[in-house]
Amino acid sequence: MRTRGRQPTQGRHPRVDLLEAAWMPAGFHLDSVPAEVRDHLEGCPECRAFLDELVATRRLAGALPAEAEVSLLEVQAAVRRAVAAAGRQAAVAQPNWRERLGFVLMAGAMLGAQALLLELLEPAGFMAFQVALNWLAPFLFYIIFRLDNRVTDKRAGET
């Protein structure tokens, strides 16, 4: 790729152009350097030395391979681990429709029971029921969360 849209500054060392040319993905080719820069290079030993160093740096960088050497078995094992981990995450993140329906039904049943008791009991009796329910609420929540966790853990173990 040519360094288009930017002319090397007249009378100054075109270091930026040289750096870009030396670090092109396809490697350094003198042809890819703008003509003005090539002219400058011919008369400037400093820039030639700079370019040589950049090219040598690039060559040294090539000592490292782009891909890691890793056996197919290791790769397959890593991918399987990732698939299993993603499956566990998905199971934890998404409660299934039966759980959701269960919670909705439970909330509906509680509301229905309250409405019925409001009809059947005297105000004092209903208040006593409310107090008992308030006291029991944390325990109920605890049981529900424990059940939910057990269901989730079981499903996660299956993936």
Partner 1 sequence: MPDHELESLVIAAKAVDRAASTSALEALLTRVYPRLLGYALKLTCNRCLAEEVCQETMVRAITGWRRYRPVRGRAGVSFQAWLFRIATNVYRDIRRKSARTASAGRPAPGGGGLAASAEDEAIHSIEREAMMEALAALPEEQRAVLVLRTYHDCSYREISEIVGCPEGTVKSRLHYAVLALREELRRRGVL
11 or 138: whose CB is closer to Zn ion? 11
Q: Is the distance from CB of 28 to CB of 55 less than 8 angstroms? A: yes
Binding to partner 1, residues 62-91 (CB under 8 A) = 63-70, 72, 75-76, 78-79, 81-83, 85-86, 89-90
Interacting span for Zn ion (CB under 5 A) from 41-49, 93-101, 116-124, 145-153: 41-49
Binding to partner 1, residues 10-39 (CB under 8 A) = 16, 19-20, 22-23, 25-26
Residue (of 45, 11, 32) closest to 19 by Cα position: 32
| Number of shown-chain residues binding Zn ion (CB under 5 A) | 4
- Taking the alpha carbons at both ends of the chain, their separation in whole angstroms is 49
Q: Which does 86 bind (CB under 5 to 8 A by kind): Zn ion, partner 1, none?
A: partner 1
**Angstrom distance (rounded) from CA 40 to CA 55:** 18
**Angstrom distance (rounded) from CA 92 to CA 89:** 5
